[in-house]
Amino acid sequence: MADLKARIIGTGKALPQKILTNADLEKMVQTTDEWIRTRTGILERRIASSAEATSDFAVTAARIALDNAKFSPLDIDLIIVCTCTPDMLFPSVGCIVQSAIGASRAAAMDLSAACSGFVYGLATAKSFIESGMYKVILLIGTDTLSKITNWEDRSTCVLFGDGAGAAILSAQKGESGILSVYLGSDGTRSDILKVPGGGSRAPLCADVLNSKSHTIHMDGQEVYKMAVENMVAASQQALALAHLTQEDLKIIIPHQANLRIINSVAKRLNIKEDKVFVNLQKYGNMSAATTIIALDEAQKSGVISQGDVVELVAFGAGLTWGAAIIRW
């Protein structure tokens, strides 16, 4: 099966209708539009309503990706949903999506690697397809970080948004497909980005809710340093595995967490600004959804054409990081 590649043949995205601007945040916490823009690059973000859950956006994105690929739900062999904000502990978002779209032939599961989730999902899908086990995989990156955000913490609440992106991967011969994926993690630094409450270590109770330990806790300076260092290394490793160099890239799509992180990564990699795709200003950090939504927008806006080499690179809680090289 070595001649088979996992090729992305369709993508889709779904976003909440509600837009939360920096001006809105000025009324919620002690912050300013200028402070948010200069330190993060974010102008607005999409926020799910109280009636919307992670799977709602996943389902919509999946249907759009299927239409884009001209595939039926019955063509899908496996559904992988990359998320750290599932609707509930079980069943998985994957099973909820399977039921909603009628993919009755498909196995389904969730994958948790936080903001690196979609890149981890690409590695998983690539392995399944290249082994010959599955031919068609629906891969989704979806999160509703607003549900686990402390809206009284001005250092974190300005960063996050909600959304979902989906890709249909098919086993195909030829030059196009996922050329390489590099993954990394460091569990010894899990303390700098975590949601400490709400799991089996500290189940939900009055104390957890009152202390807001069921929301995102982050050491911003440490996350910045670790993100830049490991995204640069992952980018270089993935290119080496694909036997390519930065000069071969048409575009790099970094995780959209903070414009300072993106600019620092690009500078260290010596990649010019016009080769870095950024949509952070519209959406903020959507965790596992960020890289696939950016890929969907880059492709559908004509930034990427057939034969172009694209790199996705991400960093998230865990700590986790990874990069993937794709020939479109």
The CATH number covering residue 121 comes to 3.40.47.10
Which residue among the candidates 115, 157, 214, 230 is catalytic per the annotation? 115
In Å, how far from its chain's centre is CA 304?
A: 19
Domain end: 174, 189, 218, which one?
A: 174
> Residue 187: how many CA atoms within 13 Å on its side-chain side?
1
Residues 250 and 101 in one domain: no
Residues 158 and 19 in one domain: yes
Q: How far apart are CA 233 and CA 270, in angstroms?
A: 13
Residues 159 and 231 in one domain: no
Catalytic-residue membership of 255: yes
pLDDT at 2: 55
Domain end: 174, 206, 237, which one?
A: 174
Q: What is the number of structural domains in the chain? A: 2
Q: Which residues of 247-281 are buried (b: 16+ CB within 10 A; e: fewer)?
A: eebbbbbbbbbbbebbbbbbeebebeeeebbbbbe
Residues 203 and 139 in one domain: no
Residues 159 and 20 in one domain: yes
Residues 9 and 43 in one domain: yes
Which residue among the candidates 22, 68, 230, 285 is catalytic per the annotation? 285
Residues 151 and 190 in one domain: no
Residues 60 and 156 in one domain: yes
Q: How far apart are CA 161 and CA 177, in angstroms?
A: 29
pLDDT at 176: 96
Residues 146 and 239 in one domain: no
pTM of the model: 0.97
Which residue among the candidates 22, 84, 157, 255 is catalytic per the annotation? 255
Residues 170 and 201 in one domain: no
Residues 96 and 191 in one domain: no
H or E element, residue 99: helix 93-101
* Radius of gyration over every alpha carbon of the chain, rounded to an integer in angstroms: 19
Residues 167 and 216 in one domain: no
Contacts of 286 (CB under 8 A, 6+ apart): 46, 143, 145, 160, 161, 162, 163, 256, 293
Catalytic-residue membership of 205: no
Q: How far apart are CA 315 and CA 322, in angstroms?
A: 7
- Per-residue model confidence as pLDDT tens for the chain (328 residues): 458 999 999 999 999 999 999 999 999 999 999 999 999 999 999 999 999 999 999 999 999 999 999 999 999 999 999 999 999 999 999 999 999 999 999 999 999 999 999 999 999 999 999 999 999 999 999 999 999 999 999 999 999 999 999 999 999 999 999 999 999 999 999 999 999 999 999 999 999 999 999 999 999 999 999 999 999 999 999 999 999 999 999 999 999 999 999 999 999 999 999 999 999 999 999 999 999 999 999 999 999 999 999 999 999 999 999 999 999 9
Catalytic-residue membership of 115: yes
pLDDT at 1: 47
Domain end: 125, 144, 174, which one?
A: 174
Q: How far apart are CA 168 and CA 293, in angstroms?
A: 13
Q: Could you list the residue range(s) of the whole structural domain that residue 241 is in? A: 179-327
pLDDT at 14: 98
Please measure the distance between the N-terminal and C-terminal CA atoms of the chain and give it in whole angstroms. Answer: 20
